[in-house]
Amino acid sequence: MTYTNFTLDTDAEGIALLTWDMPDRSMNVFTESVMEELDAILAEVVANDAIKGVVLTSGKKDFSGGADLNMLKRMMAQFEAEKTRDPGNATKLLFENAGLMTGLFRRIETCGKPWVAAINGTCMGGAFEISLACHGRVAADSERVKLALPEVKVGIFPGAGGTQRVPRLADTQAALQMLTTGQTLTPQKAKGMNLIHAIAAPDQLIETAKKMIRDGLKPVQPWDEKGFKIPGGPVYSAAGANLWPPAAAILRRETNLNYPGAAAILKCVYEGLLVPFDTALKIEQRYFTQILQTTEAAMMVRSLFVSLQELNKGARRPAGVPETKFSKIGVIGAGFMGAGIAYVTAKAGIPVVLVDRDQESAQKGKAHSDTLMAEQVKKGRAKPEDKEKLLALITPTADYAALEGCELVIEAVFEDSTVKKAATQAAEAAIGDTAIFASNTSTIPISALAGNSVRPDSFVGIHFFSPVDKMMLVEVIRGEKTGEKAIATALDYVRAIKKTPVLVNDTRGFFVNRCVLKYIAEAYRMLIEGVPAPMIENAAKFAGMPVGPLALADEVALDLAQKIMRQTVRDLGEGAVEADQLKLVDEMVDRFDRKGRKNAKGFYDYPAKPAKKALWPGLKDLYPQKAPEAVDFDELKKRFLFVIAIEAARVMEEGIVTDPREADVGSILAFGFAPYTGGVLSMIDGMGAAKFVAEADALKAKHGAPFEVPQLLRDMAKSNDTFYARFNPYPPEKEAA
């Protein structure tokens, strides 16, 4: 029989090689057709006495990325549509759909013939779950092989048997850590956890898998054999008593119970290990059905799975502009930001010219890459030859003429209009007519900087976040005269360095910084009100933010914040900055010389390692303190989330951001906005605009102007509208598909 997604070749010994190679796709994924074909292949294998066993592998460079995002979208859309007609039947259909992969994988492992997964590259999610259902697992000894069940990162969990097979193969504690964090495993780590059986040289992968079958691999899983014992010990045992109470406490500490999917993993494993395997799978299926119905899952899947992939694939790239292949990139300014940009560019394999005022400064910028790569080598994440190869791609110089031949030049000099003007003019004298010039700026409008250019249509903003090597988001800013080629080139570059781009229109602070400044300003407001600083930081973390606002202010640097606030007053007038907040920052910087982490004292004290930073005790003396019991902790949490979301809505109203996917993904990747909400706009959509506006109005009545919602939100509340409906990011032809 002929299949579309697979080929089945049986050798003289009766071992069938099942090769997964989907046409017109760069990576194999589970779709409805893939699952239908696998079911038919399984029936063929069982019926054919000549087939003694099956080796499942991939015809692509990677094994599989797991489930196709569109299949998950269709499942959830079907549920929502049916729910309006028959809620009970909607849940029943969702339960049945959630069990399709579970049932297929269970039939594979109980078919009576041995299956071996030969894993040649990335193997994620459902792909790793089908591998775990195979009786043998062999992974190639290659850096390409990455094994993970990362579903918890998008609000769900491994619902095709993952929560039951992993803790029956690995120690329960290690299994819980892997499942609740979405941890990625190397072949060596996976073998140490007993999740794979062997590691083979890439050219011996298939032969090693076949040999397992020839050597008499039993077509029975350990948990289906009589006398099976759980590796980590029974739930009700001394080992279990030492594991489960701390596991629940750790989950609460790490998630603040904001992530239903993570909590469901603990429930699935705990309850599943108490019952026979088939019953355990049914428990998992019920929890998976429950989690799929949560707002958190819907929003996280949309933003962190669907939207993130769409943006990474160029969803916002102008159509009809030829893609730019980069052979040479220029970076002007070898300070911390410029050096970081040079590093990520070279890491992508693109030659870089790093320009600064003198050779010594430029060389110092290249040394940053040397330091970063040395750390990677020390941790075993890179080889010495990788370091030398990367450094060879960076050419430090003080000569602007070296920029000739660059397709893109990125200016990353000091945040000063005069300095940026000089760099722009010097670069444009050296680069070709077709080159694109970009400015990395966080505060100065791109349209103003483009006034220094003789080719404003080729001038674009590319705003990196610090540290460049770790932060995954990049803002591409369209100035008033920026052309489509400049936008396309900037987006091509961001994709080339494997970061996620968001396209925003020009304004002071662009999108991310406008939201971040509201977050920090609300913390200043609370401090001035007399809210104890520890409550401020903890409320933000309990709300889902990764870093407290006072700690974030220290990272940004209080003296820089002071400069920005004073410049804002000069540009926009006294009312643009709250006077008591400027006074607070002035006191911290001018009176106490507390500038943040940069001088080891800000809102926090930063002692020498190994001691940890701690809030400065002097904060409690700045303002009369409220008693902790007099502070509404839940309201503090809400204030942080609402003040950011209101600003994001205002940015949409002003047309600075036009695609809700970019606001959501950008808010999570740039400053960690409560990922369980799906992002700033998904939080509002998830609550409903009417409820959000009502709660914002209540906050405004108590705390004033920061909680004044824009007219856009009031209009949406009246019409029961959502951002994804009002600002639909999908063209009609894509919706129809």
Residues annotated as part of the active site: 463
- How many CB atoms are closer than 10 A to CB 173? 16
Task: Give dist(CA 461, CA 475) in Å, integer.
Answer: 8
Residues whose CB is less than 8 angstroms from the CB of residue 603 and which lie 6 or more positions away in sequence, other chains included? 533, 550, 551, 553, 554, 558, 588, 594, 596, 615, 616, 619
Task: Give dist(CA 308, CA 310) in Å, integer.
Answer: 5
- How many CB atoms are closer than 10 A to CB 465? 21
Phi (first) and psi of residue 445, to 5 degrees: -55, 135
Residue written as tokens 């900087």? 449
Residues whose CB is less than 8 angstroms from the CB of residue 1 and which lie 6 or more positions away in sequence, other chains included? 8, 40, 44
Residues whose CB is less than 8 angstroms from the CB of residue 49 and which lie 6 or more positions away in sequence, other chains included? none
- Reduced to 3 states, what is the DSSP secondary structure of residue 588? helix
Tokens of 471: 């932060």
Task: Give dist(CA 517, CA 578) in Å, integer.
Answer: 12
Please state whether beta strands 459-464 and 473-478 pair in parallel, antiparallel, or not at all (unpaired).
antiparallel
- Reduced to 3 states, what is the DSSP secondary structure of residue 255? helix
- Are 648 and 496 in contact by the 8 Å Cβ rule? The answer is no
Helices (H), 293-383: 295-300, 308-312, 336-347, 359-378
Task: Give dist(CA 430, CA 204) in Å, integer.
Answer: 52
Residues whose CB is less than 8 angstroms from the CB of residue 730 and which lie 6 or more positions away in sequence, other chains included? none
Residues whose CB is less than 8 angstroms from the CB of residue 698 and which lie 6 or more positions away in sequence, other chains included? none
Going by C-alpha positions, the residue among 333, 337, 334 that lies closest to residue 466 is 337
